[in-house]
Amino acid sequence: MKLHTLAPNKGAKHRTKRLGAGESSGLGKTCGKGHKGQKARSGSGTRVGFEGGQMPLHRRLPKRGFNNVNFKTKVEVVNLAQLEKAFNDGDTVNEEALRKAGLINRACDQVKVLGLGEITKKLEIVVDTISASAKEKVEKAGGSVQTLADA
């Protein structure tokens, strides 16, 4: 490849629309803008959401009430089957370890372990909350569970 062989991709370049080049060009006289009116003027157009003076939709709809989305607790869920695959016997499972393993990647307030799947490894689990079935399965496998609410 040499500099003189470089060229843009096929279809990447277009001829510019030559406006006002006589009626036979197809874009003469009014240059494709029709006759007069707001849209024929330079710098024309209305702002986003403008409805010709009619009360716009965003002002017609009621805005009231309380929205709890900013205050709700964001809980990330991990299942026992995922822990079985990601960790070795005797490992400590906490939020930091779960992030390193790629089981949690979003920002969250709490981490909860659920009992879906089976576990055979002895794991030391330190999380915010854990379901009763998950706790039972972990302890049955010989592991230990500590919730941060208890600590």
Cα–Cα nearest to 134, from 110, 143, 104: 143
Q: What mean pLDDT comes out for the span 16-31?
A: 91
Report the chain's C-alpha Rg in angstroms. 32
Dihedral (CA of 111, 113, 119, 125) sign: positive
What pLDDT shows up at residue 151? 58
What pLDDT shows up at residue 120? 94
Q: Which of 33-37, 53-57, 64-68, 77-81 has the lowest mean pLDDT?
A: 64-68
What pLDDT shows up at residue 63? 87
77 pLDDT more than 80 = yes
What pLDDT shows up at residue 69? 85
pLDDT-based confidence at residue 65 (cuts at 50, 70, 90): confident
In the block, tokens 């330079």 appear at 42
- Global pTM reads 0.57
pLDDT in tens, 81-117: 999 999 999 999 999 999 999 999 999 999 999 999 9
Q: What mean pLDDT comes out for the span 20-36?
A: 91
What pLDDT shows up at residue 97? 96
Q: How high does pLDDT run on average in the chain?
A: 93
Which secondary structure element, helix H or strand E, spans residue 58, and what is its range?
A: helix 57-60
All structural domains of the chain: 75-147 (3.100.10.10)
Listed in order, strand segments (DSSP E) in 38-87 are 75-79
- Euclidean distance between the first and the last CA atom of the chain, given in angstroms as a whole number: 66
Instruction: Report whether 27 contacts 18 (CB < 8 A).
Output: yes
149 pLDDT more than 90 = no
